[in-house]
Amino acid sequence: MMSFKGVAYLTSRWIRRQPIWIIQSILYMLGFTVIMYFWGGAEGLRNMVVAWLIMSGWNTGINVISQDIGWNRISRILFMYIASPLTPFSYILGVFLSGMIFLLAGVAAIGTIAVIMGFLKELVIGLLVSMPLTFISILVGITIVMRLREGTNVSAVTNPISSIFSVLPPVLYPANIIPETIKLGLITIPLRKIALLVPTVSAAEIARQLSGICVSEPLWYVIAVFIFWVVVSIVLAKKTLKWGHE
């Protein structure tokens, strides 16, 4: 069935009326690029290329795609879709494709910078790692938005989650600049290992290691964390996502 095209068409209607969102997203990225370049030079920018792709992947899933699904649910458009020949796969594919507009706009901008600076390896690896991360973030996002009650402002829930996972932990900055451990009284806390448990951080670390930027923890550890998140997000979404028959 080609029904996903209809979903993508309807879900992407905002672009014609509110294109400023994309411009804002690109300006935000350019702002970080300037900060990173003038503060960290070419090495800072190299980090930035990887970090931005990881952040974009995460934000696209949880903030754009899940927000659309949450809005469809709260506005009851989702019920119209369920009571139709549309399949859940086509629905999510359609919403995903419309959400890609954001991701592609960001990738085009950061891709241009990466090509100019010669960071092609970082660009390709960042893109490859951001794909499964987007998948995790869509599933985590769906798990959250499917539990929202009527009247909830969907973006008021997804925006903070998106920021907490992308701006706060070591995504824009490498994990090796935070202390390996910290001591709280008699207890030694493995801070870096804990930070790397965050899916965005482990994804950024994988991309940085594969690009040869830096190594914070063994690769097997961050890959294991990442696989754990893939499994957890699938299990969570499977439990939450119901296509009718609630």
Q: Which residues contact another protein by CB under 8 A?
A: 1-3, 5-7, 9-10, 13-14, 16-18, 71, 74-77, 79-86, 94, 244-246
217: helix, coil or strand?
coil
Q: Is the dihedral of CA 216, 218, 223, 228 positive or negative?
A: negative
- Is the separation of the CB atoms in 134 and 58 below 8 Å? yes
Q: For residues 183 and 245, which CB has a smaller minimum distance to another protein in the complex?
A: 245
CB nearer to another protein: pick between 73 and 192: 73
Q: Nearest 5°: phi and psi at 242? A: -120, 130
**Nearer Cβ to another protein, position 37 or 71?**
71
- Cβ closer to another protein: 94 or 106? 94
- Residue 90 Cβ vs another protein, minimum distance, rounded to whole Å: 8
Give the nearest distance from C-beta 13 to another protein in angstroms.
4
Q: Are 56 and 130 in contact (CB under 8 A)?
A: yes
CB closer to another protein out of 147 and 238: 147
CB of 240 to another protein, least distance (A): 13
The distance of closest approach from Cβ of residue 139 to another protein in the complex, given in angstroms and rounded to an integer, is 22
- Least CB distance from residue 144 to another protein, whole Å? 18
Least distance CB 105 / another protein (angstroms): 18
In DSSP terms, 189 is beta-bridged to 182
Rounded Cα–Cα distance for residues 171 and 176 (Å): 11
User: What is the rounded distance in angstroms from the CA atom of residue 141 to the CA atom of residue 158?
Assistant: 7
CB of 166 closer than 8 Å to CB of 200 = yes
Q: Which C-beta is closer to another protein: that of 71 or that of 135?
A: 71
Sort 83 into a burial class: Cβ within 10 Å, 0-12 / 13-18 / 19+. Answer: exposed
| Rounded Cα gap, residues 37 and 123, in angstroms | 16
Nearest distance from C-beta of residue 140 to another protein, angstroms: 23
Residue owning tokens 């985590």: 140
Query: What are the DSSP E strand ranges found in 160-236?
Result: 182-184, 187-189
Mutual angle of helices 154-166 and 120-145, in 10-degree steps: 140
